């Protein structure tokens, strides 16, 4: 426990002074009782039960007073508190491999059902956005509180060729920070405009409204916006990435995750499909699709999030259900003055109550 105003703890020195005054009054009271009371009354007063009970209310009140003094110093402690994200972006794989049936009835349908359940479980004040990615990535539903629009967007998923996990992360990140221009120079291969979906450049709508020097001339503000923050420190938004395959095009997903980490955004990754994978084919071709767990684990680790594996539709639903508990709790230094004051008030009330019951007086 720490204190915001530790210099006020010196007031605790009054506690032993109060104890001394109490003992002095007790001794004086005993002398008066011996001088004026009858012998029977003295014996009754000095019985073990009464001797014990007479000190309980003052002791409780002393503890209450001590806690009140501690509260003056504004105590703080590291506690686990609800930390609800204002925005959650679901980045979902819609590549052709999602038609595999190793997850019943198939990977895409299982993912859609789990996403619907997740959306319905979220508080109504949480904004949810949906990004789909295959060979390209697109925002299929900007962040909204309208659950009907979100469910309709999930129903519109169509399978496409390719898997660009990195593009999915970047488009989701751009949805959270629409005013920020992300430097893609370190990605390999380099993403082009079409990789953001529907021909929209990664800067997206509102990119020309940023704080760059070309618009406002404020270079210092632009530099501050580019300064990395501790990974996982951004509490207002998070990304949940679901995929079943390996990256075949677009930016390196781990490099994309590092961009999210620089913004403090956690990217929770969910891998769907069996370990052995599944052979799928169409129009005379076939291929085995396997889950790249190592990359998904790296993405989660870089952003201080978690990786989950779903081998069945039931596993996937449980993962989304458990995601709520993992995302809404955090440990932080918090002032607990109110709790200390409440404990002091409870002790003071208990002391007064016992004194009234036992001795027909407050204290």
**Segment 310-324, tens digit of pLDDT:** 888 888 888 887 776
Gap between the Cα atoms of 359 and 98, Å rounded: 77
Question: 143 or 244: which carries more pLDDT confidence?
Answer: 143
- What is residue 288's predicted lDDT score, i.e. its pLDDT? 59
Q: Is the peptide bond before 189 cis (omega within 30 degrees of 0)?
A: yes
Average pLDDT, the chain: 78
Gap between the Cα atoms of 84 and 213, Å rounded: 34
Asked if pLDDT for residue 220 goes beyond 50, the answer is no
Asked if pLDDT for residue 112 goes beyond 90, the answer is yes
Q: 191 with 126, same domain?
A: yes
Backbone angles phi, psi at 281, to 5 degrees: -160, 160
Q: 190 with 276, same domain?
A: yes
Please state whether 217 falls in left (phi above 0), alpha (psi between -120 and 50) or beta: left
Q: 75 with 215, same domain?
A: no
Q: 198 with 254, same domain?
A: yes
Taken in order 27, 32, 33, 39, is the CA torsion positive or negative?
Answer: positive
Please, which pLDDT band fits residue 228 given cuts at 50, 70 and 90? confident
**Segment 281-313, tens digit of pLDDT:** 555 555 556 677 889 999 999 999 999 998 888
Query: Does the predicted model carry a pTM greater than 0.75?
Result: no
Please, which pLDDT band fits residue 214 given cuts at 50, 70 and 90? very low
- Check which CATH number belongs to the domain holding 90 and give it: 3.40.50.410
- What is residue 161's predicted lDDT score, i.e. its pLDDT? 87
Taken in order 50, 52, 55, 57, is the CA torsion positive or negative?
Answer: negative
What average pLDDT does the segment 227-236 reach? 87
For residue 151, what is the enclosing H or E element? helix 147-155
- What is residue 326's predicted lDDT score, i.e. its pLDDT? 60
What average pLDDT does the segment 98-104 reach? 84
CA 79-82-85 angle, 5° bins: 135
Q: Which residues form the domain of 339?
A: 2-79+334-359
Greatest mean pLDDT among 181-185, 195-199, 238-242:
238-242
What average pLDDT does the segment 172-179 reach? 92
**Segment 16-27, tens digit of pLDDT:** 888 888 888 877
Q: 128 with 221, same domain?
A: yes
Please, which pLDDT band fits residue 99 given cuts at 50, 70 and 90? confident
Q: 355 with 261, same domain?
A: no
Please, which pLDDT band fits residue 275 given cuts at 50, 70 and 90? low
Q: 95 with 21, same domain?
A: no
Please, which pLDDT band fits residue 203 given cuts at 50, 70 and 90? very low
Cβ contacts of residue 53 below 8 Å, gap of 6+? 354, 358
What average pLDDT does the segment 83-93 reach? 83
Please, which pLDDT band fits residue 219 given cuts at 50, 70 and 90? very low
DSSP assignment of 152-170 equals HHHHT---BS---HHHHHH
**Segment 50-64, tens digit of pLDDT:** 667 778 888 898 999
Please, which pLDDT band fits residue 36 given cuts at 50, 70 and 90? low
Contact present, 340 and 75 (Cβ < 8 Å): yes
Q: 162 with 66, same domain?
A: no
Q: 23 with 89, same domain?
A: no
Q: 304 with 200, same domain?
A: yes
Number of domains in the chain: 2
Cβ contacts of residue 14 below 8 Å, gap of 6+? 69
Q: 193 with 263, same domain?
A: yes
**Segment 315-353, tens digit of pLDDT:** 888 888 777 656 655 566 788 899 999 999 999 899 888
Q: 291 with 215, same domain?
A: yes
Question: 282 or 8: which carries more pLDDT confidence?
Answer: 8
Q: Virtual CA dihedral for 182, 188, 194, 195, nearest 10 degrees?
A: -80
Asked if pLDDT for residue 252 goes beyond 70, the answer is yes
- What is residue 202's predicted lDDT score, i.e. its pLDDT? 41
């Amino acid at each position: 426990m720490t204190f915001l105003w530790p210099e006020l703890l010196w007031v605790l020195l009054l506690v032993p002074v109060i104890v001394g005054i109490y003992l002095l009054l007790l001794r004086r009271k005993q002398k008066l009782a011996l001088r004026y009371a009858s012998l029977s009354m003295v014996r009754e007063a000095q019985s073990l039960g009464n001797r014990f009970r007479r000190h309980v209310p003052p002791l409780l009140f002393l503890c209450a007073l001590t806690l009140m003094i501690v509260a003056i110093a504004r105590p703080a402690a590291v506690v686990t508190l609800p930390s609800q994200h204002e925005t959650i972006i679901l980045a979902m794989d819609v590549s052709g491999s999602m038609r595999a049936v190793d997850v019943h009835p198939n990977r895409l349908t299982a993912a859609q059902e789990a996403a619907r359940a997740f959306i319905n479980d979220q508080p109504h004040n949480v904004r949810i956005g949906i990004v789909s990615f295959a060979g390209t990535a697109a925002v299929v539903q900007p962040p909204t509180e309208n659950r009907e629009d979100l469910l309709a967007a999930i129903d519109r998923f169509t399978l496409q060729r390719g898997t660009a996990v990195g593009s999915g992360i970047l488009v989701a990140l751009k949805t959270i920070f629409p005013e920020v221009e992300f430097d893609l120079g370190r990605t390999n291969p380099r993403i082009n405009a079409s990789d953001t979906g529907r021909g929209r450049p990664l800067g997206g709508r509102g990119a020309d409204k940023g704080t760059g020097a070309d618009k406002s001339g404020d270079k210092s503000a632009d530099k501050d916006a580019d300064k990395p923050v501790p990974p996982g420190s951004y509490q207002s938004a998070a990304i949940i990435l679901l995929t079943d395959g390996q990256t075949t095009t677009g930016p390196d997903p781990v490099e994309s995750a590092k961009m999210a980490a620089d913004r403090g955004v956690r990217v929770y990754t969910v891998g769907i499909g069996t370990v052995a994978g599944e052979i799928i084919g169409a129009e005379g071709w076939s291929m085995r699709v396997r889950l790249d767990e190592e990359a998904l684990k790296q993405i989660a680790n870089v952003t201080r999030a978690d990786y989950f594996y779903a081998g069945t539709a039931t596993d996937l639903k449980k993962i989304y259900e458990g995601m709520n508990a993992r995302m809404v709790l955090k440990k932080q230094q918090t002032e607990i003055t109110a709790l200390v004051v409440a404990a002091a008030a409870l002790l003071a009330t208990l002391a007064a109550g016992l004194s009234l019951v036992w001795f027909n007086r407050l204290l």
